Structure 1
């Protein structure tokens, strides 16, 4: 793990992390995701693969997963290559517009190697806050 004084670099994320997410909907319902995120070197960047169990507000549990591509500058793409957002190396704000929805993130690396990413999502059919906490698994 590197500590450049300038924030995080891609090498800091490589490896396995425990991932816990809480998804708080505006109607008061809450869903939870519990699993793992693993950054695996791929080309000049890394692929982040998330796997785990999503427990819906009604208690139904389903297996869930997704993957993203991260480049050396911490630009994140969806698994299909479309740009998602740029992670600020020192932590802070990021955003993604997906009209008519707006996704606003805050990255918090203050307690590294435990860190958080909070997404605030708003749109005509979406209104939730998703709090993700990552901690080293290896």
Structure 2
């Protein structure tokens, strides 16, 4: 867990994210009082035509069972210089991303649940996301720390 009172402004989200990151995530199911973990890597690699392909892979441990897990997202330049739009691998919109003041909040409705993400940049090599998922189907907190490799 990072504790800091200072956030690091990022003039270009895509340039900041490019490269490889070590990932540590906790997943707390508040309804069932269960906590799981994900450990692995996230690689942001350049896509032809601009943007970054985000590929995350590692091990997710939940209720005593560890299994491989992965996901792919696309980070594309947004209309405002230095900002990005995040899309799922199939092209659907996920959320915008503006780290110019080192902090961003994004909402993503998913059926009747709401995903609210908070992004914080601590320095050139560390950042965090906290997703709060609330609704009739889910009551979760996902906290992910990224450290550049």
TM-score normalised over the length of structure 2: 0.84
How many equivalent residue pairs?
133
Distance 1:103 1:92 in 2: 14
Distance 2:95 2:138 in 1: 19
Gaps of 5+ in 1: none
**Distance apart, 1:8 and its partner CA:** 4.0
Gaps of 5+ in 2: 1-8, 79-83
Q: Which runs of 4+ in 1 moved over 4 A?
A: none
Distance 1:11 1:84 in 2: 20
Distance 1:109 1:6 in 2: 8
TM-score normalised over the length of structure 1: 0.90
Distance 1:77 1:61 in 2: 27
**Distance apart, 1:123 and its partner CA:** 1.4
Larger RCO: 1 or 2 (CA < 8 Å, sep 6+): 2
Question: 8 Å contact 2:10–2:16 — kept in the other structure?
Answer: no
Question: 8 Å contact 1:88–1:94 — kept in the other structure?
Answer: no
Q: CA RMSD in A?
A: 1.6
